[in-house]
Amino acid sequence: MILIHTADWHIGQHFFDYERIEEHKIFFNWLKKTIKEQQGDVLLVAGDVFDSPNPSAESQRVYYHFLREVTTENPNLQIIITAGNHDSAARLEAPNPLLEEMNITVRGVVKRDMSGDIDFQNLLVPLKKNGETYAWCIAVPYLRQGDYPNAENYSKGVAMMYDVLYNEVGKIKEPTQAVLAMGHLQATGSEISENDRSERSIIGGLECVSPEVFDKKDLVYTALGHLHKAQRVSGREKVRYAGSPLPMSFAEKNYKQGVNLIELKENRLERLERIEFSSPVQLLSLPKEPKPLTEILTEIAKLPDGEITSTSPFLELKILITEPEPSMRHQIEDALQGKVVRLARLAPFIPKGEREMKTITYEELKTINPLEMAEDVFKNKYGSNMPENMKRLLQSVIQEVEL
């Protein structure tokens, strides 16, 4: 059995002010081709299908168009989708009666029976080949408080959830059948993106789940979502994040996008490999180290000329701010005219000046010259002395106020 593991599509995401629908369409066309070439039997989507719990009509259209096309082109393909923290679990599950006709299973809501007990069986999905159950998938969506058995904290509750599910699947599986798990969580020892809010756990480190949860005898692979960098967890080859198909921020510009391919032979893992996808839009971050505006303008002049398209590179400019420059953005936008890049982010860097902190009395405060105070603030903020013309203007304002 061949399985493809992907996650964190974030359909509908805006890269700063730019839509990414066309990028997602390119990825989905590539994914359809990959599934066909690899003769995939199962597609595992480990959460964050959409970037928002209330996705736009266009985002939903792209999603359902992909599902219809990929199942039409691959009639025997089975798809398992779990909800992530960015998804609305109920919205994702709503079309289940229709999707099940296409051999698509969506798990977003942790259901409970009439007694209020968790319906663990609903999260156990048989993976079929030629009409026969070949393996089992523990399909766990992103777990919110109240979704897991009672425990003293979140991580222990999640661990208990997987323990119970593993025991339950053990009661129904045949010895020749493998077990896989899915999850949308942050595993201890995994690497998160720098300055990327979409990956941050809601309650910080308390939400980290130990990868030891997945150290089970018959658990041959764990397909994780939530973190955008493709990686194995704490050296565990069989516990992996697929990563996002598109970089979600400039912090992710050097990540390798793609999917994980898993091949099962009866109840064991036969093959595990990475299939890379080349993101259609390049992320440029210039220069390597922050520089003053004049040097930034020189860097811009070196960029290639051309017409802007939906796949033109996104540009981040790192600017060293040593003094106020009200016309900075205007100068940059003028310099970018005719350049084949899309300005996404201006990242200001202000040098840290040394500041001596001391306590002063009210009487001492009244004796301080306002100009000297302004000069001190300017130096601490920009790391340099206030320009003479600015001092003259400020002094004239002070004199007018004092009259």
Starting at the earlier edge strand, list the strands of the sheet with 236-241.
124-129, 132-139, 178-184, 219-225, 236-241, 231-233
CA distances from 201 to 16, 197, 209, 315 (A): 21, 9, 11, 28
What is the full DSSP assignment across 144-186? PTTSS---SSHHHHHHHHHHHHHHHHHHH--TT-EEEEEEES-
Give the CA count within 13 Å in the CB-facing half-sphere of 216.
21
pLDDT tens, the chain, 403 aa long: 999 999 999 999 999 999 999 999 999 999 999 999 999 999 999 999 999 999 999 999 999 999 999 999 999 999 999 999 999 999 999 999 999 999 999 999 999 999 999 999 999 999 999 999 999 999 999 999 889 999 989 999 999 999 999 999 999 999 999 999 999 999 998 877 665 555 554 444 457 899 999 999 889 999 999 999 999 999 999 999 999 999 999 999 999 999 999 999 989 999 999 999 999 999 999 999 999 999 999 999 999 999 999 999 999 999 998 777 888 999 999 999 999 999 999 988 877 654 454 555 555 566 667 888 888 777 777 667 788 888 888 888 887 776 6
Separation CA 199–CA 185 (nearest Å) = 10
Neighbours of 399 (CB within 10 A): 9
Separation CA 398–CA 394 (nearest Å) = 6
